[in-house]
Structure 1
């Protein structure tokens, strides 16, 4: 049968061209394109890994910088607190010194005023005694006509005023 003989020839030819086509496809794609794509992918993977490493290193450095900054900030705050406390203490001492000086000045003024008042009170009492003694002498002289000496009148006034 001639059809059967043609099948073997037809299939052999088709198999040959199939092998040639796939061989060329393998050579072009498998040996030419795939290695280039694979090297590009490997390069990209290496670049991503390097970028991740650099990012991790940058993060570690940033964390270290932040920790240093926080330590510096805490130290600065502590210095500010101590400076503020020292300033408050100095202001308190200065205020207390001014108050003490002012109290001493007021005490001296009060003491001087009390001394003036005591002197004025003593002078007024002495003058009252003198006026009272003169008035008593005049009253006794007018009422009884008796002459009383100034010393007697003063003694009588002192006895009445001072008990």
Structure 2
């Protein structure tokens, strides 16, 4: 190769090799030994930080899931307690209404029995008066029509037989 042979023939090749080696050595020690470990340490620290942040995020996610589950359980328990309270209130209201209705029914039954007794008494009284009025009227009619005087007891018996019989 002509470039290499030409390179070897030139008088300043040794100084160029020296400076190339010196430059590469300087670059190797400054960058390779000085800067690269710092860069690698920074990259490692960043990787650790990212890994730690991911682990913290996973832990926070797990804690959030746990908290959400406990919230759901509390919500379900509260909902069940509210439903139970509503059911209990409905049952109590139904029982109270039933008691009041039974009390009102008893009062009405008493009033109805009293009213029926009053009606029966009034009816009996009215029937007795009707019988006596009818007996008097029959006795008067028979006396006016036939001129025969009918005994009050016979007139009452005849009226009673017709009305009840």
| CA offset digits 1:136-156 (Å, max 9, x no partner) | 111111111111121111111
Q: What is the rounded CA distance, in whole Å, between the counterparts of 1:151 and 1:5 in structure 2?
A: 175
- Where does residue 92 of structure 1 map in the other structure? 94
Equivalent positions of 1:66-145 (< 5 A) are 66-145=68-147
Aligned to 1:148, the other structure's residue is in SS state coil
TM-score, normalised to structure 2, is 0.89
Aligned to 2:11, the other structure's residue is in SS state helix
- Where does residue 42 of structure 1 map in the other structure? 44
Q: Provide runs of 4+ in structure 1 moved above 6 Å.
A: none
Which moved further from structure 2: 46-55 or 77-86? 77-86
TM-score, normalised to structure 1, is 0.90
- Where does residue 7 of structure 1 map in the other structure? 9
Number of aligned residue pairs: give it. Answer: 160
- Unaligned 5+ residue runs, structure 1? none
Query: Once superposed, what is the RMSD of the aligned Cα atoms?
Result: 1.7
- Unaligned 5+ residue runs, structure 2? 1-5
| CA offset digits 1:69-110 (Å, max 9, x no partner) | 222222222222222222221111111111111111111111
Q: CA deviation at 1:10?
A: 2.4
- Where does residue 25 of structure 1 map in the other structure? 27
Q: CA deviation at 1:54?
A: 1.0
